[in-house]
Chains A and B, each alone.
Chain A
Amino acid sequence: MNKYQNRSRNHLRKTPTGIQGLDEILEGGLPHGRSTLVCGSAGTGKTLMAVEFLVKGAKFYDEPGVFISFEETLEELTENTASLNIDLMKLIDEDKIFVDYVYVERSEIEETGVYDLEGLFLRLEDAIQRTGAKRVVLDTLETLFSGFTDTGILRAELRRLFRYLKDKGLTAVITAERGDGQLTRQGMEEYISDCVIVLDNRIKEGLSTRRLRIVKYRGSSHGNDEYPFLINNFGFWILPITSIGLDYTASTKRISTGISELDDMLAGGGYYRGSNILVSGSAGTGKTSVVAHFVDAACTRGMCCLIFAHEESNNQIIRNMRSIGINLEPWIQQGLLKIQSERVTKQGMESHLLKSHQMVDSFHPEVLVIDPVSDFTSIGTSDDVKSMLIRMIDSYKALGITTLFTHLTSGGEHEQSTEIGISSLIDTWILLRYLETDGERNRSLYVLKSRGMGHSNQLRHFQITDNGIQLQSTLNARGDLQ
């Protein structure tokens, strides 16, 4: 995060939200001492985002906050932000966050002449003084329009309110309902023009995806895309598509593939540590076996491995691998290996991405396997899958994790182009295929590419035996065994 703060120092002071992924998109955070408008229809996560902004501020940045709630009482608020409950209540007890529920009568209040909203200002001022607040949330300010009929007075008071917040140097988040044909129902964007964020919840191909977009950020550059995000028991989660960038360090250390002949094909050393490897091939060519060799070898060296298995259960993988002489069970018992088996279709793409990130966060694997990635096409378009894989590859690379993907190809002519078009992202690509010669159907292996090392150009037959994969002698240019 420091990287972004340094970069933006010359332009505009920013207040980090502390929300996973959001500060990267905002290139540091929200405009410091200004108001930010967060708009979206009902149920898009505006309130949660606002609460998280305060909780993170008080917890990690020593910036107390005030939450003026126009719609939910404290009880409702804590219920609806269950993920942040413990933190929120604790911070309220410590006077680091103050919540004031402003009750706006829906029934008509008789208006008998001129008035102002000084009562609201006094409450805000009092709450700010009690906590020494640096952050303020007004959720949802527009509710005022249902309680008061004199819009002339209201608009003048809103202007006064935003001027007040600015003069006080408070970083504020104002939430608003999405309106027809405009960003917000009551045209709040007219008052808040420094930064506008739109939240959205769309159903696409039967799966709901929440998305976030920075519509405007005066004086600052920001990510322009729509960023998918999730709301789960950890709170608000955004994974910027390409934020991680390409500035990771490339290791020169190697890790054995677990198959000595394959190590030889890869200039005698195996895969680069922290690189990514694709093993593709049609059904039954032995992809998972290649993976198991590698995992076994890594565990033998004391490295932590995490496998996401999308087609087989733990037991099935263990049984099948045992049948070829690879015993994974001891590694699981020693806590070096974890196999997470789950059908891809059980959850949306974003949930999946989130879950894998959380597991990586908690397990800290040095080797990660996704078997197979091709299954993701069942829950998203190939563009979605590609963008997800880019994010995975980038973030795991940044963490120095060696990642192995398998990919099921349908065979035939297209086996050198993966359906999801990730080939260009891959460092080492091992192609498995059946080769039919002289009335025999043999498995063969080929290193299609391997960045940064001289690799064999040979097509090698191999057999899967009781003692694992065994590569056989080389084939010459005519396909004859030598």
Chain B
Amino acid sequence: MNLPISENANREAGEERWILRLYIAGQTPKSLTALSNLRRICEDHLAGRYFIEIIDLQEDPGLARKDQIMAIPTLVRKLPPPIKKIIGDLSNTERVLIGLDVISA
């Protein structure tokens, strides 16, 4: 798909690097909403140190099994550890931040 795969900005030394993976299933309104919400949140809170990977499960349903994805959209924080999983279109910014551990609950 033609969505941007990498939005890597300058990585500053000493700063944590965030690798986020967004699972979608085709370009549905929910997926598009999730992606734009994710970009906005990342720019606001993690500017310059995040990396977003988009996986379209329609192209490879096997990955849904391999990565144990059931809900769409699902966002997985690959780094920093531990792995975190949040679901939904990311419209509730506060919950996204709590879920990703960007801010503590």
A residues apposed to B, CB below 8 Å: 100, 102-105, 109-120, 122-123, 125-126, 147-148
Q: Given A104-B70, A117-B72, A126-B62, does the pair A112, B92 have CB atoms closer than 8 Å?
A: yes
Interfacial chain B residues near A113, Cβ < 8 Å: 33-34, 37, 88-92, 95
Quote the shortest CB–CB distance from B68 to chain A (angstroms): 5
Contact A112 B61 (CB under 8 A): no
Interchain residue pairs A-B with the least CB separation, the first 7: A110-B99, A113-B88, A113-B91, A126-B61, A113-B89, A112-B88, A118-B72
Q: Given A105-B85, A122-B64, A123-B64, does the pair A111, B72 have CB atoms closer than 8 Å?
A: no
The answer for the CA separation of A125 and B65 in the assembled complex, in Å, is 12
Contact B65 A111 (CB under 8 A): no
Q: Given A104-B70, A110-B98, A125-B61, does the pair A118, B25 have CB atoms closer than 8 Å?
A: yes
Count of residues in B whose CB is under 8 Å from the partner chain? 33
Within 8 A of A (CB), among B47-105: 57-58, 61-62, 64-65, 68-75, 84-92, 95-96, 98-99
Q: For residue B100, which residue of chain A has the nearest CB? A: A110
Interface of B is mostly: mixed
Interfacial chain A residues near B75, Cβ < 8 Å: 112
The answer for the CA separation of A100 and B68 in the assembled complex, in Å, is 10
Asked whether B39 is an interface residue with its Cβ less than 8 Å from the other chain, the reply is no
The answer for the CA separation of A91 and B37 in the assembled complex, in Å, is 45
Partner of A122, one of B37, B57, B89, B99: B57
A-B contact pairs, 14 of them (CB 8 A): A110-B84, A110-B87, A112-B75, A112-B87, A112-B91, A112-B99, A115-B72, A115-B87, A115-B88, A117-B71, A118-B25, A119-B70, A119-B71, A122-B25
Contact B58 A122 (CB under 8 A): yes
The answer for the CA separation of A109 and B34 in the assembled complex, in Å, is 16
The answer for the CA separation of A117 and B87 in the assembled complex, in Å, is 10
Asked whether B30 is an interface residue with its Cβ less than 8 Å from the other chain, the reply is yes
Contact B25 A112 (CB under 8 A): no
Asked whether B23 is an interface residue with its Cβ less than 8 Å from the other chain, the reply is yes
